[in-house]
Structure 1
Amino acid sequence: MKKMVKIIGIAAVSFGLVAGCGSGNTSGPSSDSSVPKNSQPSSNSSTAGNAKEVKLQASNWKIDVSQPEIKAGDKVKLSFSVKEGAHAFAIQNTNVKVDTMTAGEKVVEWTPDKPGEYQVYCTQICGPTDKHESMKATIVVK
């Protein structure tokens, strides 16, 4: 009986670790003072026709980015999608965050107000630490 209780306990803890993995991890990479800090996502869910579209697609342990030239002040439509795995996104030193997704597309409108390199990273622990930490991409704003 004690053996069965131990097995159930271990299974419950293991399930809890897998199910909750990364759910509170929104800190992302360490802060870098050279990265702009005051860019905000738009609360407007409809994207203007003149916004520049940046497509970000996550698969296991990488984020692919296709982007046009972006200038500070441009409206940007960020289209997040997942090819495989479960991923969540954030752009370092901004308020842009996308909750965990496994399929479909989520769109966020964002207007960067300073030039610089904006690091996009996965906030959902999605595998071994060394592979998860490599899930980064850069959006360049001129």
Structure 2
Amino acid sequence: MKVKKMGLLGSMLALVLIAAACGNTKSSTSSPSPSAQSTSAVSTNSGEEVSVTASNWKWELSKTTFKKGEQVTFVIKGKEGMHGFSIDGTKINENIGAGDTKKVTWVPDKAGEYTIKCSVMCGTGHASMIQKITVN
């Protein structure tokens, strides 16, 4: 009986820690890592900046449609929690914490629909933290 209680207590503690992870961790760096740069060819234009806000279980972008071959710089601001800004099909994966601002540059080399996902387990709404973007 005592072993079952300890197992239940441990499981509950693990769930609480996972749920709390989204709102309590800050990143200590504010510059993008080398992996945040796309391997696509560099565009000759200066591109555009897109404002991105990462908060608990959602992304807010100032723009979601882009042109193939034109540079996009995502200016990512962490509003709450710890999140990972990743774009499926690319090598982009940048961690962002509450209070942090980071820039990620990308030159999309293929038209289509891409998905921005959170790559850091941020709590109960983690699976729904997605945002579709379109490249024409």
Contact 1:90-1:123 at 8 Å conserved across structures: yes
Task: Encode CA deviations 1:48-107: one digit per residue, 9 max, x unaligned.
Answer: 972111222111111111117421000110111111121111100101110242222110
Contact 1:90-1:122 at 8 Å conserved across structures: yes
| Aligned positions of 1:69-84 closer than 5 A | 69-84=65-80
Q: Distance in 2 between matches of 1:55 and 1:117?
A: 19
For structure 1, the 5+ residue unaligned runs are: 1-5, 23-39
**2:123 pairs with 1:139:** no
TM-score, length-normalised on structure 2?
A: 0.66
Segments ≥4 residues shifted beyond 6 Å? none
Counting aligned pairs with the same residue, the percent is: 35
Q: Distance in 2 between matches of 1:96 and 1:140?
A: 16
More helix by proportion, 1 or 2?
2
Query: How many residues in Structure 1 have an aligned counterpart in Structure 2?
Result: 113
In structure 2, relative to structure 1, the CA distance for the partners of 1:42 and 1:123 (3 Å cut) is closer
Aligned equivalent of 2:63: 67
Q: Distance in 2 between matches of 1:108 and 1:76?
A: 8
| Aligned positions of 1:1-142 closer than 5 A | 14=14, 18=18, 41-42=37-38, 50-67=46-63, 69-128=65-124, 131-142=125-136
Measured on the aligned residues, the alpha-carbon RMSD in Å equals 3.5
Q: Distance in 1 between matches of 2:128 and 2:64?
A: 23
Q: Distance in 2 between matches of 1:99 and 1:65?
A: 17
Task: Encode CA deviations 1:21-63: one digit per residue, 9 max, x unaligned.
Answer: 79xxxxxxxxxxxxxxxxx8348xxxx9721112221111111
For structure 2, the 5+ residue unaligned runs are: 1-5, 23-35
